[in-house]
Structure 1
């Protein structure tokens, strides 16, 4: 008799993100049957022991599955053993596709925390139709990149009482009660490696998008123009730069999907990140320019990957941030939406307004430990939502961004349930 499928398998559980996903699974997946997977049984057992002690829970009976990203047969067996794979094994450019392919073949859903734009859009280009045939959901960007922005726009539209034309996001991060411990590394090398390879191959995006979207979306007036490269924001009282992450590309993919499938007017969006002073913003801008230039050359990439701590000023570490830093860190994403009240709603989503927006809504998405707390809770919450509310998701399945996949579900409520989840709140409604 065949063994009954687990609900969830956390793949890559011995990695830095993976082990903290195991820790959060104790509470987020408490009503589900879940297991962990990776290459080395002893290391997987160590993770269960370590995270079980941290969570004050005996995890010794959690099932362990042996699977290797370079062994397609093992990946297929892993995918067949569960209803959804929670994939924490990056960089996804190198290690993601084989897992996606195995999940689709097995008829198993897949979520990950990729912030790698080329990977996400390539998966949509190559596997969307096959995933739909199999009735499988493949959803990336299910962590700090880019749940706050993408589900934040969903939250905005649910609370706007009208038609949203545009959203600007302003991200700020920090740490409470700064001490020497909180000045440890900010991220682990996996995140750094993803950024290096993503920037190095950013020129691939144009070709991918031309194949992915044969027709451009119509332009809706008024067009949201990007702000200056550096500016003082009155919305968050910070000096801001354009946010270099995948948020805008993820949000725009969701908005295109909702326009094409629900005939909803797409929301325009630009993303920014805020700093406490002009000096801090200038230093970050200089480093970002240096980092970007280094990724364009083989020698530069080699140096960045070989000496991450040195070339990041200690911000990156193979051991990741300390427990103290993670516990004290937080993020806030303030979102400013403009549009028209419901009294001015037009008949069709494709209709054009002739009057400028007259309504504004300010909201905030916030949470603790964005890299390895909120991210892990969000990732697991998307898995829970797929298992419990697939009837509220696009009926066809497919390769989708979070906003497209979960806009009609209770994912936001699920995120707000957990200690290390995310809070969505209205700041002002005018």
Structure 2
């Protein structure tokens, strides 16, 4: 890997979030040079390029970045490939240690890149939130990736790093510091500010419009992408995995909550993490006990807010399920692909994600993982920066050698199982993130209310 020209290639570099990732790299990691702020002490050096299928658009992105960041002028390489030309895809992936993909909808356009990464033994990350694409990656490439030691890591953006990493962290905290197994991890989205991108909407609509109804029904299970599909779990444990469907009062965080729109992907990613560790982790490297369960909700400002929010989310979901109303929303309300929030929203955005962990013993103190997005909206600037830092855990030889994830080998993996502690360290070194685990009683939850 070290002999390849690039540590990291950004695939989809001309898309909305892909270009944000390239700009983040330009701002923090000059191509081919030492990164800032570690340059003075001989820190990381990142060799990176942008790639996609349209050279003109990629060159326009490069020119825009060079105008904003003159120090990178002449240093950003452009690579071109087409999903319809396998040899061109291999020509891109064979030049990189790791490829990070932003080019969705992934179920339509993503697999040729994964194919090429496996064929050229290149590590891969993406920001998909599409369960059917993850399932397809597992079915097609998990065995080969394990055999060759290739890490294929889905969902390294806001979908689903905070939740997956949070569940892993509280499980490990309860095991290591309290000698207890984490039987329940419960994620909560707190106070946040951000916008909606057309690319995310396009991916969701693609899943709804192209997936057969019988497959959509299977996708409702939290174990849809988990190894073993939840086999061997007790009925009581499976019941605790059932996604919250209505508003409720949460005694742990002393707040009314409403169902989480993110739960449809996050529960599946966490379930895959737990199943991977059950099968592949030896001894103390597996923090999840057999009766571990995960659930999720959004914190609300009170009873009325939780009730109204639940009703609005149900109505929106119902409208998306029927072609006429879905078409009307896409033409009148929802942003088109390539669109996203304005720069002011991206630069002033923030988010707070909490995961509360409870042990099997009543005497065990509850713990809480808190991940914060700072000066970055979670969906776009935040996701771009987060995905880059996740990919660098694999792309940089020194980081790869740390083996911070619970699973040290290859396969179709999750953020927690592949990256774990290495990613936590990188997040806490970044200006846009913080990640910490503390006793729940010491955490003030932004967005929670007792009313």
Tell me the TM-score normalised to structure 1 length: 0.83
Map 1:322-341 → 2, pairs under 5 A? 322-340=342-360
For residues 335 and 214 of structure 1, the distance between their equivalents in structure 2, rounded to whole angstroms, comes to: 23
Shift of 1:55: 4.4
Shift of 1:116: 1.1
Say whether 1:6 aligns with 2:6.
Answer: yes
Asked if the contact 1:165/1:357 (under 8 Å) is kept, the reply is no
Equivalent residue, structure 2, for 1:240:
257
Equivalent residue, structure 2, for 1:396:
409
Map 1:407-422 → 2, pairs under 5 A? 407=420, 409-422=421-434
Moved more, 251-260 or 149-158: 149-158
The alignment covers a number of residue pairs equal to 399
Q: Name the SS for the 2:240 alignment partner.
A: coil
For residues 194 and 158 of structure 1, the distance between their equivalents in structure 2, rounded to whole angstroms, comes to: 33
Equivalent residue, structure 2, for 1:371:
379
Map 1:222-237 → 2, pairs under 5 A? 224=240, 229-233=246-250
Equivalent residue, structure 1, for 2:272:
253
- Alignment partner of 2:317 out of 286, 289, 292: 292
- Alignment partner of 2:59 out of 16, 30, 45: 45
Moved more, 204-213 or 227-236: 204-213
Asked if the contact 1:377/1:415 (under 8 Å) is kept, the reply is no
When the two chains are superposed, the root-mean-square deviation of aligned CA atoms in Å is: 2.9
Residues 84 and 229 (structure 1), Cα distance of their counterparts in 2 relative to 1, 3 Å cut: same
Equivalent residue, structure 2, for 1:349:
none
Asked if the contact 2:192/2:349 (under 8 Å) is kept, the reply is yes
For residues 166 and 217 of structure 1, the distance between their equivalents in structure 2, rounded to whole angstroms, comes to: 17
Residues 28 and 118 (structure 1), Cα distance of their counterparts in 2 relative to 1, 3 Å cut: farther
For residues 211 and 428 of structure 1, the distance between their equivalents in structure 2, rounded to whole angstroms, comes to: 29
For residues 96 and 131 of structure 1, the distance between their equivalents in structure 2, rounded to whole angstroms, comes to: 17
Deviations 1:99-125 (A, max 9, x none): 111110111111001111121122112
Asked if the contact 1:334/1:364 (under 8 Å) is kept, the reply is yes
Equivalent residue, structure 1, for 2:40:
none
For residues 302 and 68 of structure 1, the distance between their equivalents in structure 2, rounded to whole angstroms, comes to: 29
Map 1:312-327 → 2, pairs under 5 A? 312=334, 318-327=338-347
- Alignment partner of 2:234 out of 196, 219, 222: 219
For residues 13 and 111 of structure 2, the distance between their equivalents in structure 1, rounded to whole angstroms, comes to: 18
Asked if the contact 2:4/2:94 (under 8 Å) is kept, the reply is no
Residues 278 and 12 (structure 1), Cα distance of their counterparts in 2 relative to 1, 3 Å cut: same
For residues 268 and 382 of structure 1, the distance between their equivalents in structure 2, rounded to whole angstroms, comes to: 25
For residues 316 and 118 of structure 1, the distance between their equivalents in structure 2, rounded to whole angstroms, comes to: 22
Deviations 1:311-333 (A, max 9, x none): 34xx7785310111111211111
Which 5+ residue runs of structure 1 have no aligned equivalent? 176-181, 341-354
Residues 412 and 40 (structure 1), Cα distance of their counterparts in 2 relative to 1, 3 Å cut: same
Asked if the contact 1:166/1:269 (under 8 Å) is kept, the reply is yes
Asked if the contact 2:90/2:116 (under 8 Å) is kept, the reply is yes
Residues 282 and 193 (structure 1), Cα distance of their counterparts in 2 relative to 1, 3 Å cut: farther
Say whether 1:273 aligns with 2:298.
Answer: yes
Say whether 1:204 aligns with 2:204.
Answer: no
Asked if the contact 2:197/2:340 (under 8 Å) is kept, the reply is yes
Say whether 1:23 aligns with 2:23.
Answer: yes
Deviations 1:224-261 (A, max 9, x none): 37656102445556542221221111011101111122
Shift of 1:221: 6.6
For residues 174 and 211 of structure 1, the distance between their equivalents in structure 2, rounded to whole angstroms, comes to: 29
Say whether 1:187 aligns with 2:206.
Answer: no
For residues 96 and 148 of structure 2, the distance between their equivalents in structure 1, rounded to whole angstroms, comes to: 15
Asked if the contact 1:28/1:377 (under 8 Å) is kept, the reply is no
Asked if the contact 1:373/1:421 (under 8 Å) is kept, the reply is no
Q: Name the SS for the 2:380 alignment partner.
A: helix
Asked if the contact 2:355/2:368 (under 8 Å) is kept, the reply is yes
Q: Name the SS for the 2:273 alignment partner.
A: helix
Q: Name the SS for the 2:82 alignment partner.
A: coil
Tell me the TM-score normalised to structure 2 length: 0.80
Equivalent residue, structure 2, for 1:61:
75
Which 5+ residue runs of structure 2 have no aligned equivalent? 36-44, 443-451
Shift of 1:193: 1.2
Shift of 1:136: 1.1
